[in-house]
Structure 1
């Protein structure tokens, strides 16, 4: 990863705000909270003694001082990248390959952002990405076929080490234009007349969700069964109905405001575990370690964006 000097971090935050004109969008790009970006900008303005942004109803606009700093930072980043390239050549990072696997739920947003980051900072590194089911990725890790893997609900195995993990809740996914989107609490009874998009056995979440429906003896009057998350998301965007999915399946659209996510906190519906795994005896290359560090940052971002559990209701059919 790039060298994380304090000034380097501030420059990333400042440039993101300057380019987007929006604190929330800048925070998403930098994988941190909105409050952290705002705090860095205010601190810089205080220390420099001059405002860098105009606060407008439509967003943030650079002042003259902000425009000067923006231009200087772009030049500084370009020069600093050349310095880093020289450091990498000394460290032997001028070439390399990262061979890794991940589940399909991570391929649309999670994987893209990580690869684009590496392409920008380390254009000489090659990647071999395998998008497969969790069990197959775990096998490839244990057989030393790949450097590491991102899998769901890893089974305890002698030849599989969990380097980092987060718990991802399941919950109701509701389009923002849906009649239930404004409800602070949802009971199964509230959804009786709604169309339900049901994940079938081909999807990891099926077993838990199906058992939960049976536990509450709930049979929706209108349903559509589907084995593809992408199609379910497309239908949700069109306000076709509601679904119970994991936060991981839909978090880009939760962050963008397209969907509402209400976690379900019940013993019968435990969260999923997303784990970054390696083989215990495998020697991980420096470039693979750097990629793992970036992915852990992204996992931490997802963890902190999950709605607080205390706002979730215990949902039942009563």
Structure 2
């Protein structure tokens, strides 16, 4: 039999660091101890778990099976600990959530900060992924819940709360757009316009808006990173088509201005808080979900983006 707890620790360290030596350094154990555990496991399984290469180790097909198995076991173990805590009336546990990059400068961090103060026994693991990866991780149960924009399919997701995340024009303070309540796409065409490129989620929505408006999007500067787009606007390169979530913190600090796009062809963007259907959330996950829902309520689009 494999010494499962020790083996999984060694196995995970090799996956994370790519070699036995680096795994040994990270775990403060000898490389020979790790190598011995891996060899014993491979002998017990009758299959190699790693392919030995000059640059380190790479999991074989059998190794990939174990990667999925170990991660599933770790999730189940954490949930079991949480359930035991709940049976004992303890208010602690661990919750994993997935969010899109646009939320790294949003209400999520303040929510977790509040949670840490008011519920110190709860810990939160945050994974920043692309939009589809958030949806997949949520649907598969790899995380307790996820925050994403308009996922391609809602079939495997249950929406708990949604808020509007409108598209608009971001600009430096003092720009002429500051005097407007809203901006039409046609009013921005004479500006040095910066548009989102793939694989950004909003790229598809912006590209669709340009097509329906019969405007060639190729004539404008494009960028596939919202942080860079905000930086370009801040350095007076131009104005940018962005989602409210991308610029909320900059608007709050007065660094940038933002006005909603008012066009008949604008497809609505919404931020969804989702869980896997029929999944029974732990007490810890329910508590964290409640805090995030409150954060979403407070994160509604403020009047400042429409100039009122």
Question: Could you state the TM-score of these two structures normalised by the residue count of structure 2?
Answer: 0.64
Q: Deviations 1:8-64 (Å, cap 9, x if unpaired)?
A: xxxxxxxxxxxxxxxxxxxxxxxxxxxxxxxxxxxxxxxxxxxxxxxxxxxxxxxxx
**Contact 1:162 / 1:275 at 8 angstroms: preserved in 2?**
yes
**Contact 1:97 / 1:126 at 8 angstroms: preserved in 2?**
yes
> What CA RMSD, in Å, does the superposition of the two structures yield over aligned residues?
2.7
**Contact 1:194 / 1:220 at 8 angstroms: preserved in 2?**
no
Determine helix, strand or coil for the equivalent of 2:201: coil
**Contact 1:160 / 1:277 at 8 angstroms: preserved in 2?**
yes
Which consecutive residues of structure 2, in runs of 5 or more, have no partner in the other structure? 1-85
What is the match of residue 90 of structure 2?
A: 92
Q: Deviations 1:94-147 (Å, cap 9, x if unpaired)?
A: x31011111110012322212211222223322221111221111112211111
**Contact 2:144 / 2:275 at 8 angstroms: preserved in 1?**
yes
Q: After TM superposition, list the pairs within 5 Å mapping 1:179-218 onto structure 2.
A: 179-184=176-181, 186-218=183-215
Which consecutive residues of structure 1, in runs of 5 or more, have no partner in the other structure? 1-87, 313-318
In our comparison, the structure showing a higher alpha carbon Rg is 2
Separation in structure 2 between the aligned mates of residue 187 and residue 99 of structure 1, nearest angstrom: 40
Separation in structure 2 between the aligned mates of residue 221 and residue 183 of structure 1, nearest angstrom: 27
Q: After TM superposition, list the pairs within 5 Å mapping 1:25-174 onto structure 2.
A: 91-93=89-91, 95-174=92-171
**Alpha carbons of 1:308 and 1:111: their partners in 2 closer, same or farther (altered >3 Å)?**
closer
Equivalences, count: 223
Separation in structure 2 between the aligned mates of residue 221 and residue 261 of structure 1, nearest angstrom: 23
Give 1:193 deviation, angstroms. 3.7
Task: Tell me which moved more, 192-201 or 160-169.
Answer: 192-201
Work out which of the residue numbers 256, 270, 276 in structure 2 matches 1:259: 256
Give 1:294 deviation, angstroms. 1.3
Separation in structure 2 between the aligned mates of residue 242 and residue 229 of structure 1, nearest angstrom: 12
Give 1:150 deviation, angstroms. 0.5
Determine helix, strand or coil for the equivalent of 1:290: helix
